[in-house]
Amino acid sequence: MTSSSEREALDRRAATLMARIDELATFSEEADCLIRRFLTEELVAANTRTAEWMVAAGMTTRVDAVSNLFGRSESDPPG
């Protein structure tokens, strides 16, 4: 069973996630639909914002030769 404080924490995380989804939806080439084509200003802006969230979460980021964004969270080796 989930306690009240655990439920509240989950609700806050869900609200943050939904706000981020809504923010990413603003990076579009058109106002009435979501369009982000390869190497457009909108795609770069969305990737930049996502990378900011990744870094804030303690992840390292990199972009490959074709502009894919990767985030990595390091952990201690097993043992």
Residue 31, C-beta contacts closer than 8 angstroms, at least 6 positions apart: none
User: Is residue 76 pLDDT above 70, yes or no?
Assistant: yes
Domain that holds residue 59: 4-72
Q: What is the pLDDT of residues 23-71, one digit of tens each?
A: 999 999 999 999 999 999 999 999 999 999 999 999 999 999 999 999 9
In a domain, residue 52? The reply is yes
CA 44/CA 27 separation, integer angstroms:
9
In a domain, residue 45? The reply is yes
Confidence of residue 78 (pLDDT cuts 50, 70, 90): confident
Tell me the CA end-to-end span of the chain in Å, nearest whole number.
Answer: 32
In a domain, residue 16? The reply is yes
* Spatial contact of 42 and 28, defined as CB atoms under 8 Å apart: yes
In a domain, residue 77? The reply is no
| pTM score, whole prediction | 0.83
